[in-house]
Amino acid sequence: FAHLLLQSSKFECVDEMLTVVSMLSAENIFFRPGGRGDDSGGLAAKSAAAHRRFASHEGDLPTLLNVYKAWRKEAVYISASQPSKMRKKLEKEMINKKGPSSKMLHGDWCKQNFISGRALARAHDVRSQLSELCARSAEKNGLAMD
């Protein structure tokens, strides 16, 4: 994974590689309920249909990138590290918002798309840490990759 990050600046795709490496470092993000996939009314079929939304014919890495981008665009993640007062305020605002432009809460989005919320939150945290490391100057043990 380190090689992907180090070479990403040469190809001007640092943000994309940060996302992909963080997604690969987390557990499997795709949640597939038990049961046989051939029953059209079952949860396994619904999860497969939800996952097809993110699929890329170019492979697994673009698929993971699609999941992360969709999540950031359509959902709001309220980190456990935020003060509880702020978390409650944000959750209340999200619940009261209605309409096509409103975002879903992290957990609801993950349930709807059959994505592991824990793994996605872990990938988000890893991405934040890697991003900070890449932005840090070389004198401060960073990669100086702005």
99 — pLDDT class (breaks 50, 70, 90): very low
**13 Cβ partners below 8 Å, 6+ apart?**
none
Residue 112 has pLDDT above 90, yes or no: yes
Place of tokens 């872990």: 122
How many C-beta atoms surround the C-beta of residue 38 within 10 A?
A: 8
Residue 1 has a pLDDT of 80
Residue 100 has pLDDT above 50, yes or no: no
In percent, the amount of the chain with pLDDT more than 70 equals 76
C-beta of residue 113 within 8 angstroms of C-beta of residue 50? yes
